[in-house]
Amino acid sequence: MTAARPTTRREASRRETERAILSAAEKVFAEAGFGGATMQLIADVSGLPKANLHYYFPTKEALYRRVVQDIFEIWLKAAEAFDAAESPAQGISAYIDAKMEISRARPHGSKVWASEVMHGAPVIQDYLETTLRDWTAGRAAVIRRWIAAGRMRPVDPEHLLYMIWATTQHYADFGHQIETLNAGKPLSDAQWQAAKDSVKGIILRGVGLG
């Protein structure tokens, strides 16, 4: 068995710098899009010289790809809420809660993903065709089983998933619009709770679990 090497100053610093770059990149890509974002701006936001970015990530596209992958992995993890469920109502509820919380905590990431897909997924098409396709098929199968067992109203599983994705991500992707319609102020804690309750309430009743 290999002894665990101690964490060197280098490794720690590397991780930290990488995080700073990724965090700045997520923000800048979300706010300007891939084309509108500049390496210089990401450098400024992360407080590093531009050349340093290219030391950590060879190209703008490589950096972007990493940002997209990160948010995708977070979403995959949220699905565990769905899998661990003992009932349809509980599973759907937990999944919506998890996705809504990600929308609140990581709105930039959500926007980057949305932007990427809207532009035809030039960078992560392979993810859509493999991981996402499998994931969707698996969850759709679970929903179909629930329906077959008479535990919920018969609805098209894919369209139900689309509705959950659309609605939960809307609070991140269109957060600016929602904020404008909320007198220019971000949703308060109570308003986020109301949003979650509204979404869960309508969807659960909509699939016969009210």
- List residues near DNA by CB under 7 A: 8-11, 13-14, 17, 37-40, 48-52, 54-56, 58-61
Residues in the chain: 210
Q: What are the b/e assignments for 39-48, b being 16+ CB within 10 Å?
A: bebbbebbeb
- For residue 164, how many C-alpha atoms fall within 13 Å in the half-sphere facing its CB? 29
For its own copies, the closer CB: 52 or 174: 174
For DNA, the closer CB: 20 or 140: 20
- For residue 113, how many C-alpha atoms fall within 13 Å in the half-sphere facing its CB? 24
Residue 54 binds which entry of DNA, its own copies, none, with Cβ cut-offs from 5 to 8 Å by kind?
A: DNA
Residue 125 binds which entry of DNA, its own copies, none, with Cβ cut-offs from 5 to 8 Å by kind?
A: its own copies
For its own copies, the closer CB: 56 or 192: 192
**Contact flag: residue 103 with its own copies (CB under 8 A):** no
Kindly write down the DSSP assignment for every residue of 30-88, as one continuous string: HHHHHHH--HHHHHHHHTS-HHHHHHHSSSHHHHHHHHHHHHHHHHHHHHHHHHT-SSH
For DNA, the closer CB: 52 or 90: 52
For its own copies, the closer CB: 13 or 198: 198
* Of residues 165-204, those binding its own copies (CB under 8 A): 165-167, 169-171, 173-174, 176-178, 180-181, 194-195, 198-199, 201-204
Binding mask 13-42 for its own copies (x = CB under 8 A): -----------------xxxxxxxx-----
**Contact flag: residue 79 with its own copies (CB under 8 A):** no
Residue 13 binds which entry of its own copies, DNA, none, with Cβ cut-offs from 5 to 8 Å by kind?
A: DNA
Give, in order, the Cα–Cα distances in Å from 198 to each of 82, 180, 193, 201, 204: 19, 19, 9, 5, 10
Min dist. Cβ of residue 45 to DNA (A): 13
Question: What distance in Å separates the CA atoms of residue 6 and residue 10, rounded to the nearest whole number?
Answer: 11
Helices in the chain by DSSP H: which ranges? Answer: 9-36, 39-46, 50-56, 60-83, 88-105, 107-118, 125-127, 133-148, 157-173, 175-181, 189-206
Using CB under 8 A, list all residues that contact its own copies. Answer: 30-37, 111, 114-115, 117-121, 125, 128-129, 132-133, 136, 153, 155-156, 158-160, 162-163, 165-167, 169-171, 173-174, 176-178, 180-181, 194-195, 198-199, 201-208, 210
